[in-house]
Each structure stands twice: as C-alpha cells, then as structure tokens.
Amino acid sequence: MNLPLAANIIVDTAPLILDFGVVLLAAATLGYLARKLGLPAIVGYLLTGLAVSPFTPGYTADSGQLSLLAEIGVVLLLFEVGIEINLPKLSREQSALLWGSPLQLLIGMLIGTPIFIFLDVPIFGALLLALAIAMSSSVVIVNITRSGRRTTDVETEEALLAWSVLQDILGVAIASLILVFFGNDDRSLPLALGGLIGFGLIAYVSARLLPSLLSRMRTTPDLFLIYSVAIGLVLAALGAIVFGIPMALAAFVAGLAIKSGEDTDEVRRVLLPFRDLFAVLFFVLIGSLIQPSQVLAALPFALMLLLLMVALKTFPTYLIVKFSKIKSRALQHSIGLSQMGEFSFVLGAAGLSAKAISPDQFTAILLAVLLSIVGSSVLVRISVMQPKLTRKNL
C-alpha cells in the first residue's frame, strides 16, 4: 500500500471524525444536563446544534456532514419502527386510525392553505406551510414512545406510531402532487404517480422475498443483522433515487417488509444503539440551522405557526380520538402529535429554494420545529389524566 497516500487519507478524514466526536460529546453532555433539569434530552441535542453552528461563536461543525449522518439516523429510526409496528393488527383492533389520521391531515390542509394565502403567501408556499403544520415528527414520536421516563401506556404508544405512519404515507403522496403541480419537479403527473406505484410494487415483492432470504441466516446472527440493515438502506436509497420517494418513508416500508419474517427481535435489539446514535444528529442539525440574528424577525410568524398547529392539528386530533373507538388517551395522543419535525423542515427547504417562502419564514419554521418538539416532549409526560394500567416492569 502507498503509505503517503494512506497518510493523506487519514489527514483528510481526521477533521470529519473530530466533528463527529465533538458533536456527540457535546450532545451527550447537554442531553445529560437537560435530563437533570427534568427536560427531555432532545433539548440538549437542539442546543448542541446551536452551539456548533456557523452562526454562533466557538467551534463550528461541518453542516454537510451533519446532514448526511442525520439522514442515516432518520432512515435507521423509521426502518426499526417499520419492523416493530404491526399495521394489520392495528387495523383490526383500531380501525378508526385508518380514517382518523387522514382526516386530521386534510383538516390542516383545507383550512391552513386559505389562511396562508390570505397572509399573502404564494399558493405553492401556502400549500407547503399548511402541510408542514399538519404533519408530525416520526422521529420525536418514536422518542416519546421509547423514552425511559415516558408516561404513555402501550395502546397510546401503538396508536401514536400508527397515526404518524399514516400521516407520513398520505403526506408524502400530497407533497409529491404539490411539487408536480406547483413546484420545480420536472416529472409529469403520470410519471410522479408511476414512481409511487412502482415503489409500491418493489415493496410488495420485497415483502414476499425477504423473509425467505433472512430465514436462511437465522443461524448466523451477524450476517442476519448485516443483511437486514443493508436491505433497509438499499430499499430506502432506491426509493429516493429511482422512484422519487423520501428515504425515510422508503426505509419504513422496508421495515414493514422485514416484519413479515421471523426472528426480528434480535435485529431490533442490535440495531437500536446504532439508530439512537445517529438519530441524535437530526436534532443537532435542526439546531445548527437557526440563525440567532434572524430570530426576532421570525418569531411572530413562528408563534403564528404554533397557534395554527394547535388549532388545526392538536384540537381536531383530540376530538377525533375522544369521540371515536381509537384506544388511546386522547389528551396525551393529541399532545404527542403536537410538533413540527423532519418533514416540516424538508417542506420548508423546498419552499425556500423555490422562493415560495422567505428566509425569515424558513427561520420561523425552524423555530416552530424547535419549540414544538420541546413543548410536546415535555407536556406529553405531564398530561396523564389517569394511572398507567397496561405497561409492566418499567
């Protein structure tokens, strides 16, 4: 091997490794301090992003590398959720979820879009903003349902996850149509719909073939794990590159396919540490994009986004759960969904690049994401109206 070349490679990659290490150390420290204060560790991760951003003095991390690692974290997170969640079981036991989640999303779109148009936002930006406040964060919801200090019961956790997944599926379809009709998506409508159908077929074929492949690896746990993770990443990337499907949703579908096999508990157990490690970076990334100099100008619009989110998502969700047969604590369920997250960030970035929303409005979206994540993560713990009955051995 060429030793000088190897030395150059090490030197070139050392700053990236340093960034990764510094960010993780800072996130762990601030996350620990946040928990000591009775706050979710997510608060510490968001503050870490602000501390290492180019907009604050001190150490600056490479935002491009953070974005890449955060994307891996979100993919692994939703891949694991897809493995765990059992939608056929939920559709049998909680069929109201199948109409409750889409109804909440449509309420946000149908009422939110005219409001933003009235505020002189172009129709493309109005549609994106309405969808952004109607969508919740799968990353945050998974953390709410996995936290060691959570107060949700099992049925509420399952309902939250299923509601969020249905949001993602319908939200991605709506976003695809918005981008085709109003955005800079070069694909025609038939081509965009063909991409969705094509990925659906790939997911169906995978669901048929993967269990047989993985069953051959049961006696070799290391290869079983490698195959499972690799399949999830490959399907996620194929969904984005070939069919134009967001990688997070494609990863979830890949997890659902693996769910139909056996012996996946061990895969989840080994995958969890990797998922948690990289998912931290998503929150760091959000914090790193906030520009303190723009906060005051963006704050009024951010507060308006939060008020609309409560009116068009939190309140309708509470009513739907309260007066339907969904087995979930209505107050906790509605508060648990009361945040903007990764999908809102993606929609805001699309609107900013197309000049459908202003830089101040994009900063307002980031602020709303930060404030709503912190608020929902804290409030969902203290919103229990009755003692836990179904969870054991906490």
pLDDT one-digit tens code per residue, 325-359: 888 899 999 999 999 987 888 888 888 888 899 98
Rounded Cα–Cα distance for residues 67 and 74 (Å): 11
pLDDT score recorded for residue 67: 75
Pick the range with the lowest mean pLDDT from 16-20, 46-50, 381-385. Answer: 381-385
Residue 306 has pLDDT above 90, yes or no: yes
Backbone phi, psi, residue 40, to 5°: -65, 150
pLDDT score recorded for residue 262: 56
Residue 376 has pLDDT above 80, yes or no: yes
Tell me which DSSP letter residue 57 carries. Answer: S
Mean pLDDT of the chain: 80
pLDDT in tens, 88-110: 666 666 778 889 999 999 999 99
Rounded Cα–Cα distance for residues 334 and 330 (Å): 6
- For 239, half-sphere exposure in the C-beta direction (CA atoms, 13 angstrom radius) is 26
pLDDT score recorded for residue 267: 65
pLDDT score recorded for residue 230: 80
pLDDT score recorded for residue 199: 75
Characterize 284-303 residue by residue with b for buried, 16 or more Cβ atoms within 10 angstroms of its Cβ, and e for exposed. bbbbbbbbeebeeebbebbe
Q: Which CATH architecture has domain 3-382?
A: Up-down Bundle (1.20)
pLDDT score recorded for residue 394: 35
Residue 202 has pLDDT above 60, yes or no: yes
| Mean pLDDT value across residues 133-161 | 84
Residue 113 has pLDDT above 90, yes or no: yes
pLDDT score recorded for residue 126: 95
Q: Are 370 and 286 in contact (CB under 8 A)?
A: yes
Q: Could you tell me what percent of the chain has a pLDDT over 70?
A: 83
pLDDT score recorded for residue 21: 86
Name the nearest CA neighbour of 140 among 334, 303, 279: 279
pLDDT score recorded for residue 386: 44
| Mean pLDDT value across residues 120-136 | 93
Supply the DSSP string of 170-226, one letter for each residue. HHHHHHHHHHHHHSS--S-HHHHHHHHHHHHHHHHHHHHHHHHHHHTTTT-HHHHHH
| Mean pLDDT value across residues 173-196 | 72
Q: Is 90 helix (H, G, I), strand (E, B) or coil?
A: helix
pLDDT score recorded for residue 292: 84
pLDDT score recorded for residue 162: 85
Residue 289 has pLDDT above 50, yes or no: yes
Q: Which residue shows structure tokens 């190897």?
A: 6
User: What's the sign of the alpha-carbon dihedral 369, 371, 377, 380?
Assistant: negative
pLDDT score recorded for residue 309: 96
| Mean pLDDT value across residues 299-318 | 96
Q: Are 104 and 310 in contact (CB under 8 A)?
A: no
Rounded Cα–Cα distance for residues 166 and 162 (Å): 6
pLDDT in tens, 33-76: 988 887 778 888 888 988 888 888 878 877 777 777 777 777 77
Residue 263 has pLDDT above 70, yes or no: no
- Compare 213 and 186 and report the one with higher pLDDT: 213
Tokens of 119: 């505020």
pLDDT score recorded for residue 185: 59
pLDDT score recorded for residue 87: 64
pLDDT in tens, 235-249: 888 887 877 777 766
pLDDT score recorded for residue 25: 92
